[in-house]
Amino acid sequence: MKVCTEACLFGAWLAEEFRGKDMDSALDIGTGTGLLSLMLAQETKFAKLDAIELDEPAAKQATANFEASPWSPRLHVFQGDALRFSFPRVYSLVFSNPPFFEQSLLSPDARLNQAKHESDLDLASLIQLAENITEESGYFAILLPYLRTESLLEKIASSSFQLYKRKNVCQTEKHAPFRSFCLFRKNSPVNMHVSTICIRENGDYSPAFSRLLQPYYLYL
């Protein structure tokens, strides 16, 4: 399974937000091969980092990746449908890099469709699930295409989550945003903060990108 740059950036952004904080537990919904959970395990103090993945081969790969890591005692993979799963705890943080493309551009490969489209886990269901399994003042974080973020904000407005931070992502300073990272907090008044990061500036990785990814990339 390929790892995309913006997913790495999302994991680094989340880890920076929670680095140094004493947090109980986090859940990665649709973990794939476990990248985001591993990034948080490396840089944060979450006592428990659970992950769930519907696709069985991906879940097995995530399990192998977790077991091979130095943080294996804190990491655990569930294989199953998040919407029908009985989780063992409520979480301080629920986060997800969910399917992007809804019902458009379907592939003949059913597993690829499941990974990249939201036929199995739509935004409204994901929000409801996160609301049900987060602590009273817990957090929910999500990576989405920029153009879908307003739809997310409309859907989440009726929940107990309030937007806490939003980071828009551009390829370069000359490009419009193409991804958004959103962090919500539950049942808590918040002062919303919105900012933008460019992956590249002047033909090289931007200083902001390099700073966030330096703990994970060998050559930054």
Using alpha carbons, select from 10, 194, 33, 178 the residue that is nearest to residue 96: 10
Type of residue numbered 71:
W
pLDDT at 220: 66
**Side-chain half-sphere CA neighbours of 60 within 13 A:** 2
CA 206 to chain centre: 22
pLDDT at 102: 44
Burial class (CB within 10 angstroms; exposed 0-12, middle 13-18, buried 19+) of 152: buried
pLDDT at 197: 98
DSSP 152: H
pLDDT at 108: 47
Q: What is the pTM of this model?
A: 0.90
Per-residue confidence in pLDDT tens, the chain, 220 aa: 557 899 999 999 999 999 999 999 999 999 999 999 999 999 999 999 999 999 999 999 999 999 999 999 999 999 999 999 999 999 999 999 987 644 433 344 444 444 443 446 799 999 999 999 999 999 999 999 999 999 999 999 999 999 999 999 999 999 999 999 999 999 988 788 999 999 999 999 999 999 999 999 877 6
3-state secondary structure of 49: strand
- Going along the chain from its start, the domains and CATH numbers come out as 5-213 (3.40.50.150)
CA 173 to chain centre: 24
φ, ψ of residue 185 to 5 degrees: the values are -125, 145
State the DSSP H helix or E strand holding residue 110, giving kind and residue range, or none if neither.
helix 110-116
